[in-house]
Amino acid sequence: MAVHPIVISGEPVLHRRAQPVEAFDDELRTFIADLFETMDTANGVGLAAPQVGVGLRVFVYGMENDDGVAPRGVLVNPTLVTSKVPGSDPDPDDEAEGCLSVPGEAFPLKRAEWARISGFDGDGTPVEFEATGWFARCMQHEYDHLDGKLYVDRLDNRQSRKARKAMKANGWGVQGLTWMPGVDPDPFGH
């Protein structure tokens, strides 16, 4: 297993739709193990392939949940269906979201409270489950990465302005920026 550098907003792979996985082979399983190792070293709860510069439809997660779903898993070529996103303003205390590709920043975002996700595990076995609450938020966040979206792309106007200002202050939005979990300081202070 290897820890990969995490790319930062502005890297093209983060802003385009990832390609479907075509082969469930040892190379894919090794890559999935690397994603888990990178996520764990970064103290994350999810990590999508585009976040390590690989444009494939794969993400891993590691999050306790109340939905009876294994707390660690992988989704390959997933599909996602959600309940309606509430139209109310996000709660800045209870709905702040962060991302390893927008390191150290967090902004409030409304998400659907329920999601159904289906796809495959690393061996090509079908996987399907429902997620609620923060676990549903995690599934939506990681799935967005596969479609070339970051959570900051979904913020309301006020929060979007704050995010753009923070990203400009950090010098992000250009190609070639990364941070290395386990080497660079943890941007979220874990």
Catalytic residue among 11, 97, 105, 142: 142
CA distance 143 to 59: 8
What does 54-92 look like in DSSP terms, one character per residue? --BSEEEEE---SSS--SEEEEEEEEEEE-PPP-SPPPT
CA distances (Å), origin 155, targets 18, 24, 38, 96, 98: 22, 35, 26, 11, 12
Q: Confirm whether 113 is a catalytic residue.
A: no
Catalytic center residues: 142
